[in-house]
Structure 1
Amino acid sequence: MSVIDSLLAFTFAATLLTLTPGLDTALILRTAAVEGHKQAFKAALGINTGCLIWGVMVAFGLGALIAVSELAYNILKYCGAAYLCWLGLNMLLHPRGSLATDNKMQTKAQNWFIKGMLGNVLNPKVGIFYVSFLPQFIPHGQPLIAWTFGLVMIHVVLGSCWSTVLISATRPLSSFLRKERVIRLMDRSTGMVFLLFATRLAISKR
């Protein structure tokens, strides 16, 4: 496979992966609808930062350790499941009824970058995906580290573009989406999604 063929094939595959609805999509849509596009972009930036962190770990061999070590995989898996469960329960049991107005709530809203990043970093399946998926698109004889970073950056750029589309799609409905009843429904629905993903991650196998 030539360099151009590898890049085109990976871009196509990564695009399909990016467009597939998942935890990241739910997080971005909920944040955009409830807290506005600025906070949603912070969440998207956190998600992409998590991808870059996994790219670094995979490039330098740490991702392979997660892939082959059952203990390392399980530790990260259960930490990730517990974190998602915590997020989900908070949204489900304590849904917001309005936008943040005081300093305490604004500070809480600004944590979506951290939440987006940890959601990816604490998911070992992202690392295993990179370990098993990226090498297929690295041409023989090419530098492994440089190509790993390059492919991860393509994935990040695609993710950023898709996040922008999702966030922009909520703007025409912003007045409706920020009603008290809708905000509570969005929080509880997203909380349920997070709990489902936490359960799925906890019972998953490599």
Structure 2
Amino acid sequence: MKNDYRDTVYGVPKKNIINEKKALEERIKIEHPKVKIIYNQINKKDSEYNKQFRNIYNNKCAYCGITTDVISSDLFEVDHFICESSFNGDSINAGKISNLVLSCKKCNRAKKDFIWSEAYSQRLNVDDDSITELFYRDEDYSIRIEQEFIADNIICSFHRKLKLDEEIRRLDYLLMSMYGFYNKYSDDKNIEKILKCIILLQKKRNEL
């Protein structure tokens, strides 16, 4: 099975995101039968639906993989995978849970109203891991485009627009790996030294 560039070797077990999102949508419809735009329910910060939605994604950005270990949960947003402008004012379909993903603010704000053809919606799908066929994590922790897609304008534009090639992505991955190591070996008597390094590095990261 191909490695997911969004995960470190300490990543948590995979979930069936598609099915879990459907279950959440059903719950919302039962509890709020008059609600038409699911996005409005999930997007409410600190609501039970928002928390459950974040948990479905393991509190991890669906695009770059950064987790709440590295940045605050306040820096995560509910993103319209296919941008709202593509729906020509149809907020109901744009706000369906199948079109909503968890994104860090950096990816969401960079992506904005990026538009692609329908064929690319499946290629870029973050819920069934199709996107992991397009990008990979290099040995230096950079997120790179797979060679077979290097000449694809849409995929290259997506990579560039979301700023997946920025240096901070490498630092974020290092921090996620360090947190994963810390959590795995938390009983080791020397692990606090690692934690001090993590905290210092994270402080420097947040100053960037």
Q: TM-score with structure 1 length normalisation? A: 0.28
Bigger strand share: 2
Bigger helix share: 1
Which one scores higher on RCO, CA 8 angstroms, separation ≥ 6?
1
Q: TM-score with structure 2 length normalisation? A: 0.27
